[in-house]
């Protein structure tokens, strides 16, 4: 900047935004316009309007001149300095969960190397800490110091031991950084002195090898510097050898290797050293370690479940690698006699101690607090585990014990618990337990459900509101309805909304995907006609919010004519329609989990939503004493034999030429209403299309993830082709129409069967044959 006293490097969008932000604030203070970035309403009231305007323009121009072209394009449309500042912070100081996770992973996996400058690596470590502070992630100062110590390269092991075992009180980050810088200066000076001594010796004509081979002979040089007896060792301070050949130094290093195991996990991820653990300690204790990447245990009889497999190596202090021979769960009894199951514990037989990884608890969302020699792992205000600092070695040892169990050795086959969890659209573990108790899962024996990252990412939510209480005595007596949308991404059929209708007595949900909210009245009327005809009774009460789609005169007149009493929420209080709002939240949680787990594009959210509603109706509900909504509605248990994992790879049978393949590759995307078959997305060149087929072979261990190019090609079309394939026992008949969303309710048809309930695959075939015979049209 030519008109300022100091120039700063322009922010390009790729350099350090945190440092640029500090420098930019200093420039604005220097120019007397720092208040402008707070916003005009927060500026000093003593300033006139003209002064405020001048200050804002001056600050805006200063920011523009300190931005590179790439960053400037991002904020060029903002008219004030405050708006520019907020936009830059939102772009480059994001506080999202993914960004916090990324920074924490970088911190816990940070590892220094011997080949790079320690000072430069300290600056890199401090940058990670600054980035975390900028997004308001707080860490204890002692945790920072321990992480920094743990990141030091192997040639700093003695220095690390001195810090860990030489201090009785807590250590601070500033103390550790100051000690590291001092140590690095000393090492540089020692190396410089060693290099000078050895270079002098070699330049005078006597190398170390030559000196050994010519004992008793005179050197050809007349200089006395070549006489090794004149040199002093910088390690033991004795004369006659250099530090690198010092016998005492070599003996100390060997002793250190014998008395301490230093382990580093290598399992396809960035490794992190484990703190020093002495073998003289009892092997029953569990050491709580902030540097260990995974939980590790050397005793097979500690495992409650164990799957034997090769899973990387553990590197000990003498460079001896130890194999990770399995992974499983270990049950621990905590300080309060509560039992806790450690998951994903690595079985390392050659390890000397049991290790609990603090970083794994952090990845699960737990907090860590260290105070007065006690390390606590917290879930909110609940203490999950705690460890006490050992006065002898400074390590935190778990206040608890192992619950002994004979390991159940697992084979490398499909995890039935995880498979049913995915088939049921990421149902809760409690729901799986209830279905197993009722023997509805083909007799499969379920284990503890492993951690599901997609559930954490898709189902995180705020604390719930209190629920109102009302009593319904039969189905179709009290109904809740709500409209969700619009979605920023349209479905394959062009839908932007979905309407949910929930029966209060049975908790059964119907879901309709709509292109526009004006379709709400028609869908509700069709649903009402269908259910009234099935149950031969009338609806008493309908509860909705105050959305315009429910307040139209057409909707009100229909309710009056049918004798339906209306319950509405107070304006701007959607919590009063709690059941419908919670159902929408549950559906969207399932949708996010299913799309994340399958890798499908967001354009499939309509298929995921209808599938989620289908599965929710088949999962236990606590409001029904753990019965399923479909069982409460029909009065008989549900059949789960047709369930498959959403997004899994499928092969649909086709009847082509005799030498052509007899199946096509597809992706499973749902259960069509009223048809005994599966809804599939057919993978083919030039874009896919939706088909329904009964004869399908599934590979639920693989996902048929769509390529982006294919999605772009298919999304460029106005309509997606929808194909119903006939039974293999009938003539080969294919009828293709423009695709519409399949919903969990009455299917609308053309002139042939508008209100007809398609209840079997045979009926679909008959209707299609009728269309070919009469020339009439049908829309599925």
- Has residue 244 got a pLDDT over 90? no
Q: What is the DSSP letter of 445?
A: P
Report d(CA 499, CA 578) in Å as an integer: 15
Looking from the CA of 569 toward its CB, the CA atoms found within 13 Å total 21
Report d(CA 333, CA 341) in Å as an integer: 9
In a 3-state reduction of DSSP, which class is residue 338? coil
Do 329 and 378 touch, CB atoms closer than 8 A? no
Do 336 and 256 reside in the same domain of the chain?
no
CB atoms within 10 A of CB 120: 10
Do 276 and 331 touch, CB atoms closer than 8 A? no
Pairing of strands 663-670, 678-682: antiparallel
State residue 425's pLDDT score. 80
Do 478 and 335 reside in the same domain of the chain?
no
Domain annotation covers residue 190: no
Q: At what angle do helices 118-134 and 141-150 cross, to 10 degrees?
A: 150
Lowest mean pLDDT among 81-95, 311-325, 348-362, 620-634: 311-325
Six token digits for residue 261: 């195991």
Q: Which regions of 169-315 does DSSP assign to beta strands (E)? A: 260-261, 264-266, 277-278, 286-289, 296-297, 303-308, 313-315
The stretch 575-595 carries a mean pLDDT of: 86
Do 388 and 373 touch, CB atoms closer than 8 A? yes
CB atoms within 10 A of CB 339: 10
- Has residue 210 got a pLDDT over 50? no
- Has residue 356 got a pLDDT over 50? yes
409, 434, 459 - which closes a domain: 409
Six token digits for residue 71: 């960053």
Do 578 and 468 touch, CB atoms closer than 8 A? yes
The stretch 245-266 carries a mean pLDDT of: 54
Six token digits for residue 259: 């008395």
Q: What is the DSSP letter of 110?
A: -
| pLDDT grade for 236, boundaries at 50, 70 and 90 | confident
287 closest CA partner among 337, 351, 349: 351
State residue 213's pLDDT score. 43
The tens digit of pLDDT for each residue in 84-116 reads: 888 888 787 766 566 677 778 888 888 888 888
| pLDDT grade for 279, boundaries at 50, 70 and 90 | very low
State residue 339's pLDDT score. 84
Report d(CA 37, CA 526) in Å as an integer: 56
| pLDDT grade for 200, boundaries at 50, 70 and 90 | very low
State residue 169's pLDDT score. 65
Do 368 and 233 reside in the same domain of the chain?
no
In a 3-state reduction of DSSP, which class is residue 113? coil
The tens digit of pLDDT for each residue in 368-381 reads: 888 888 999 988 77
- Has residue 217 got a pLDDT over 70? no
State residue 449's pLDDT score. 76
- Has residue 267 got a pLDDT over 60? no
Do 699 and 685 touch, CB atoms closer than 8 A? no
54, 70, 92 - which closes a domain: 92
Do 421 and 396 reside in the same domain of the chain?
no
- Has residue 192 got a pLDDT over 90? no
- Has residue 277 got a pLDDT over 70? no
Chain-centroid distance of CA 720 in Å reads 32
- Has residue 257 got a pLDDT over 50? no
The stretch 246-262 carries a mean pLDDT of: 56
- Has residue 610 got a pLDDT over 60? yes
Region of residue 335 (phi > 0: left; psi between -120 and 50: alpha; otherwise: beta):
alpha
Lowest mean pLDDT among 57-66, 181-190, 499-508: 181-190
Do 33 and 52 reside in the same domain of the chain?
yes
The tens digit of pLDDT for each residue in 436-464 reads: 777 777 667 777 777 777 787 777 665 55
318 closest CA partner among 275, 278, 259: 259
State residue 407's pLDDT score. 47
Burial class (CB in 10 A: 0-12, 13-18, 19+), 706: buried
CA torsion through residues 574, 576, 580, 581, sign: positive
Do 372 and 442 reside in the same domain of the chain?
no
Active-site annotation holds for 289: yes
Do 279 and 398 reside in the same domain of the chain?
yes
* pTM beyond 0.85, yes or no: no
Report d(CA 609, CA 498) in Å as an integer: 8
The stretch 422-427 carries a mean pLDDT of: 82
| pLDDT grade for 590, boundaries at 50, 70 and 90 | very high
Domain annotation covers residue 459: yes
Do 580 and 485 reside in the same domain of the chain?
yes
Domain annotation covers residue 7: no
Lowest mean pLDDT among 247-261, 398-412, 466-480: 247-261
State residue 223's pLDDT score. 40
State residue 168's pLDDT score. 57
* First-to-final CA distance of the chain: 67
Report d(CA 688, CA 697) in Å as an integer: 19
Six token digits for residue 674: 């009223």
Domain annotation covers residue 108: yes
Six token digits for residue 402: 């192992």
Q: Pick the residue with more confidence: 276 or 31?
A: 31
Is omega for the bond preceding 449 within 30 degrees of 0, making it cis? no
Query: Among residues 131, 289, 482, 503, which one is catalytic?
Result: 289
543 closest CA partner among 587, 632, 477: 477
CA torsion through residues 162, 164, 167, 173, sign: positive
Do 525 and 505 touch, CB atoms closer than 8 A? no
Q: Pick the residue with more confidence: 266 or 234?
A: 234
| pLDDT grade for 777, boundaries at 50, 70 and 90 | low
Chain-centroid distance of CA 646 in Å reads 19
Domain annotation covers residue 192: no
CB atoms within 10 A of CB 176: 22
Looking from the CA of 631 toward its CB, the CA atoms found within 13 Å total 18
State residue 454's pLDDT score. 75
The tens digit of pLDDT for each residue in 464-499 reads: 545 555 568 899 999 999 999 899 999 988 999 999
> For the chain, what is the mean pLDDT?
76
Report d(CA 134, CA 149) in Å as an integer: 23
Domain annotation covers residue 233: yes
Give the contacts of 108 (CB within 8 A, at least 6 positions apart): 147, 272, 290, 291, 293, 359, 362
The tens digit of pLDDT for each residue in 711-720 reads: 444 444 444 4
185, 214, 248 - which closes a domain: 185
Six token digits for residue 656: 């082509």
Q: Degrees (nearest 5) of the Cα angle 339, 345, 350? A: 120
Pairing of strands 374-379, 367-371: antiparallel
State residue 672's pLDDT score. 93
Do 608 and 658 reside in the same domain of the chain?
no
- Has residue 761 got a pLDDT over 60? no
Domain annotation covers residue 222: no
State residue 291's pLDDT score. 75
Report d(CA 640, CA 420) in Å as an integer: 10
Do 583 and 502 touch, CB atoms closer than 8 A? yes
Pinpoint the alpha helices (H) of 576-679.
578-598, 605-616, 629-634
Give the contacts of 493 (CB within 8 A, at least 6 positions apart): 513, 515, 606, 719, 720, 739, 740, 741
State residue 609's pLDDT score. 96
The stretch 557-577 carries a mean pLDDT of: 82
Report d(CA 601, CA 687) in Å as an integer: 14
Domain count, the chain: 6
Question: Rg of the Cα trace of the chain?
Answer: 35
State residue 99's pLDDT score. 66
The stretch 54-81 carries a mean pLDDT of: 87
Domain residues for the domain of 75 are 17-92
Q: Degrees (nearest 5) of the Cα angle 527, 531, 534? A: 145
CA torsion through residues 251, 253, 254, 259, sign: positive
Residue 536, domain CATH: 3.30.420.10
State residue 315's pLDDT score. 64
Do 778 and 768 touch, CB atoms closer than 8 A? yes
Do 364 and 425 reside in the same domain of the chain?
no
Do 251 and 276 reside in the same domain of the chain?
no
**Per-residue three-class SS string for 765-776:** HHHHHHHHHHCC
Give the contacts of 522 (CB within 8 A, at least 6 positions apart): none
- Has residue 47 got a pLDDT over 70? yes
| pLDDT grade for 155, boundaries at 50, 70 and 90 | confident
The stretch 16-43 carries a mean pLDDT of: 85
Q: How far is CA 629 from CA 38, 220, 524, 771, in A?
A: 54, 100, 20, 36
* φ, ψ of residue 283 in degrees (nearest 5): -85, 0
* φ, ψ of residue 642 in degrees (nearest 5): -90, 0
Domain annotation covers residue 77: yes
State residue 670's pLDDT score. 94
Report d(CA 235, CA 247) in Å as an integer: 10
Do 164 and 54 reside in the same domain of the chain?
no
């Amino acid at each position: 900047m030519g008109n300022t006293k100091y120039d700063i490097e322009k922010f390009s969008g790729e350099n350090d935004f945190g440092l640029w932000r500090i420098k930019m604030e200093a420039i604005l203070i220097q120019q007397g316009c720092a208040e402008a970035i707070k916003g005009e309403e927060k500026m000093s009231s003593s300033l006139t309007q003209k002064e405020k305007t001048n200050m804002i323009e001056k600050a805006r121009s200063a920011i523009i001149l300190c931005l590179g072209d790439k960053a400037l394009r991002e904020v060029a449309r903002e008219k004030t300095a405050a708006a520019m500042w907020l936009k830059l912070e939102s772009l480059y100081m994001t506080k999202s969960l993914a960004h916090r996770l990324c920074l924490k992973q970088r911190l816990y996996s940070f590892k220094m190397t011997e080949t790079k400058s320690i000072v430069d690596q300290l600056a890199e470590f401090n940058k990670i800490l600054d980035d975390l502070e900028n997004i308001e992630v707080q860490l204890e100062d002692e945790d920072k110091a321990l992480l920094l110590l743990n990141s030091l390269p192997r040639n700093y092991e003695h220095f690390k031991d001195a810090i860990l075992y030489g201090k009785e009180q807590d250590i601070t980050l500033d103390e550790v950084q100051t000690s590291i810088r001092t140590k690095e200066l000393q090492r540089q000076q020692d190396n410089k002195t060693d290099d000078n001594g050895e270079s002098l010796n070699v330049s005078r004509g006597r190398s170390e090898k030559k000196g050994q081979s010519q004992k008793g002979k005179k050197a050809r040089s007349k200089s006395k510097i070549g006489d090794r007896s004149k040199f002093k060792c910088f390690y033991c301070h004795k004369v006659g050898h250099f530090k690198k050949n010092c016998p005492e130094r070599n003996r100390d290093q060997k002793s250190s290797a014998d008395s301490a195991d230093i382990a580093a996990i290598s399992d396809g991820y960035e490794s992190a050293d484990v703190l020093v653990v002495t073998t003289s300690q009892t092997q029953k204790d569990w050491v709580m370690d902030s540097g260990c990447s995974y939980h590790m245990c050397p005793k097979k009889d500690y495992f409650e479940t164990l799957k034997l497999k090769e899973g990387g190596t553990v590197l000990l202090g003498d460079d001896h690698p130890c194999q990770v021979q399995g992974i499983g769960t270990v049950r621990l009894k905590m300080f309060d006699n509560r039992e806790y199951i450690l998951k994903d514990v690595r079985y390392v037989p050659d390890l000397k101690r049991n290790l609990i990884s603090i970083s794994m608890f952090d990845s699960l969302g737990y907090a860590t607090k260290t105070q007065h020699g006690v390390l606590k792992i917290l879930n909110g205000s609940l203490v999950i585990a705690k460890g006490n600092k050992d006065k002898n070695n400074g390590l935190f040892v778990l206040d608890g014990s192992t619950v002994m169990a004979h390991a159940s050795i697992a084979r490398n086959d499909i995890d039935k618990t995880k498979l049913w969890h995915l088939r049921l659209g990421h149902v809760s573990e409690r729901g799986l337990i209830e279905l197993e108790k009722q023997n509805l899962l083909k007799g499969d024996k379920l284990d503890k459900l492993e951690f599901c990252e997609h559930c954490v990412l898709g189902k995180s939510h705020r604390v719930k509101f209190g629920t109102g209480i009302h009593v319904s005595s039969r189905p179709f007596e009290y109904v809740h309805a709500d409209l969700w949308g619009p979605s920023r991404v349209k479905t394959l059929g062009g839908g932007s909304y979905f309407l949910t209708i929930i029966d209060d007595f049975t908790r059964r949900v119907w879901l309709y995907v709509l292109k526009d909210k004006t379709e709400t009245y028609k869908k509700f009327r069709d649903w009402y006609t269908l259910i009234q005809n099935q149950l031969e009774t009338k609806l008493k009460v309908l509860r909705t919010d105050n959305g315009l789609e429910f307040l139209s005169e057409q909707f009100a007149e229909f309710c009056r004519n049918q004798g339906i009493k209306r319950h509405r929420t107070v304006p701007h209080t959607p919590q009063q329609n709690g059941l419908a709002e919670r159902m929408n939240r549950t559906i969207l949680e399932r949708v996010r989990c299913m799309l994340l787990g399958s890798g499908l594009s967001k354009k499939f959210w309509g298929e995921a939503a209808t599938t989620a509603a289908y599965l929710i109706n088949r999962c236990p509900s606590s409001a029904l004493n753990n019965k399923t909504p479909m069982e409460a509605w029909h009065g008989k248990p549900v059949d789960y034999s047709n369930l498959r994992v959403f997004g899994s790879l499928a092969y649909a049978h086709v009847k082509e030429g005799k030498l052509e393949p007899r199946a096509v590759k597809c992706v499973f995307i749902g259960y069509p209403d009223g048809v005994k078959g599966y809804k599939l997305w057919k993978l083919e060149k030039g874009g896919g299309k939706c088909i329904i087929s009964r004869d399908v072979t599934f590979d639920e261990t693989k996902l048929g993830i769509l390529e982006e190019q294919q999605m772009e090609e298919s999304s460029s079309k106005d309509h997606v082709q929808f194909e119903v394939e006939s039974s293999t026992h009938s003539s080969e008949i294919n009828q293709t129409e423009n695709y519409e969303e399949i919903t969990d309710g009455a299917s609308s048809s053309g002139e042939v069967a508008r209100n007809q309930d398609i209840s079997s695959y045979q009926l679909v075939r008959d209707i299609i044959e009728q269309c070919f015979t009469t020339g009439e049209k049908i829309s599925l």
